[in-house]
Copies of this chain bind each other. A is one copy, B any other.
Amino acid sequence: MPIMLNRHSSVPLYRQLVNALREDIVSGALAANYKLPPERELAERLGVNRATVLQAYQQLKSEGLIASHVGRGTFVCASDDRQGGAPPWQILFSDYSNRFTYHDIAAADQAQRAPNAIDFATGSQNPADIPDDLLRDVSIRAFESADFHGTQESPIEGFPQLRELLADHMTRRGVRCDADNVMVLSGAEQGLDLCVRAFVNPGDCVLVEQSTFFPALQAFRSADARVIGVPIDEHGMRTDLLDGYCKRFHPKLIFTIPTFQNPSGATMPLHRRRELVETAMRYQCLVIEDDPYGELCYGERLAEGPTDALASGKPRRPRELTPLKGMENAGYVIYLSTFSKTVTPGLRTGWLVADSHVIARIAALRRMIDQHTSSSSQLICMELLSSGRIGRHIGRLCEIYGHRRDLMLDALHRYAPEGMRWNTPLGGYYLWARLPDGLRAARLLDDARHAGVTFMPGDMFAVDEDDSSHIRLNFVRPDSRQIEPGIRLLCDTIAETEQSADGHGGER
């Protein structure tokens, strides 16, 4: 910015300065957002009075060429600051992105955003349960290791060592597979998105559990799929009906959470698993098995507190059920899991187990998307698995979470009003409760939030129609001490809301 002022000219100095600066701004020699020197500094540099610079700056401001921001200085305005005119966003956004049903997300946020309430709503761990010390220790150990490669580029499918470790891990869980069949993902949800992109054409039919993980519904619907809900009961998807659904709808995909389902907490028994896989194969339909919770297995509860259902009187050792993926090798099942629910969502690391055709197709897509999962996250997961520390961590988590599950069951047994029903989840995060007849979950949520407790209304997860009679309770999210008072508060609110609905002639 070499500005030359002529002290012998008849043009006032401030005006010369304005002209010089304006020319530089309009020609682009001074780019938009260029920070001009402070008045005092420029005055000294040019050997003029500070008032001269002040006057020049004021003139340029009045012309809309520069602007001052308190505490930050004076900047050259971009040309459109003068022209105005924002982009016509609503015209520019794609149909695809418009298909996202924002009100669902807003409803979920609404349920979760109740700062001082006891939180049975949010679908993730209590941040206090994220094993910070373990992760810090594992991370530092991983980064200090001699063959450090936590920030080196990884193959699209993930570091070979991590794929190997995950293949071992899955083989121990009953899914015999090689490292070649494993792809490291940036979370299980990414796997779902990639499967939608790899398989779903507009109009394709996708079968899902009647109540299911709602981001999956979003993902299928935004791809213009036809999403059909298959009825569920306390043992998960009604696979006895599946043949009929396949015959009628010719689905391309079945999306299922067979173990500790979200939101219902239900677990499909072995014969249903076999029936599902065999039916899918008969109709040449792929199965996406989402299994974020499978390792969080608490078994049936101890019998001292009676529950409505499964209490057999004897404690049984929890036994993990074989994933669907372990029941076939032809390639029909695509298995997804994640470290998000057992370790922390912050790692953004999950994995997929599938036929090599699927791996190859998805790798081709990822090459244009995110290349591979963060190397540092992969390195941390490698250390977690290879050191065996993840197993001990999950074991401890199962004790804590199983206990919280029992606390919730006990509290429900003690406080639940007549007509309320619930299941005994054998693992995972969620208990699924049916409200007394005539009570609507959304209405209850408003009252409950005011009372200081929150949950997720069943409507959030329903595929076809409203499911206002169910609520999802996350028993792992709150602190153990909050469960009994939280359930008590919820049950009191249910009783009150029922009464007031009765009084008003109700919303039945």
Contacts and interface: CB of A to CB of B under 8 A. Distances in A.
Interface of A: 28-29, 31-35, 75, 77-81, 83-89, 91-97, 100, 102, 105, 124, 127, 130, 132, 135-136, 139-140, 143-144, 148-154, 171, 174-176, 186-187, 189-190, 193, 197-201, 215, 218-219, 222, 252, 270-271, 273-274, 277-278, 281, 284, 286, 322, 326-332, 343-349, 355, 357, 361, 364-365, 367-377, 380
B151 A130 contact: yes
A135 to B, nearest CB: 4
Contacts of A278: 79
Contact of A86 (B79, B84, B270, B331): B331
9 contacts: A32-B326, A79-B277, A97-B365, A105-B364, A186-B186, A189-B371, A218-B368, A347-B374, A373-B374
Number of copies: 2
A33, A124, A364 — most chain B CB neighbours (10 Å): A33
A139 B376 contact: yes
A136 B152 contact: no
B144 A143 contact: no
B189 A368 contact: yes
Contacts of A193: 368-370
A96 B417 CA distance: 52
Nearest to A135: B151
B377 A374 contact: yes
Nearest to A348: B374
A178 B294 CA distance: 42
Contacts of A343: 151
A144 B208 CA distance: 44
B152 A130 contact: yes
Given A139-B376, A189-B369, A92 B327 contact: no
Given A215-B368, A322-B33, A152 B344 contact: yes
A368 B327 contact: no
Contact of A348 (B81, B271, B373): B373
A376 B380 contact: yes
A190 B369 contact: yes
Given A94-B198, A348-B371, 13 more contacts: A31-B174, A33-B174, A79-B278, A86-B355, A97-B364, A135-B150, A139-B376, A140-B140, A152-B346, A154-B346, A346-B376, A373-B374, A374-B377
B187 A370 contact: yes
A431 to B, nearest CB: 23
A367 B322 CA distance: 30
Contacts of A78: 326-330
A83 B281 contact: yes
Contacts of A95: 201
Contact of A150 (B92, B149, B152, B346): B346
Contacts of A150: 135, 139, 346
A328 B175 CA distance: 55
Given A150-B346, A151-B132, A330 B97 contact: no
Contacts of A380: 151, 376
B376 A151 contact: no
A91 B283 CA distance: 13
Given A281-B83, A322-B33, A153 B344 contact: yes
A157 to B, nearest CB: 14
Contacts of A102: 364
A99 to B, nearest CB: 11
Nearest to A278: B79
A28 B89 contact: no
Contacts of A140: 140, 143-144
Contacts of A91: 284
A139 B130 contact: no
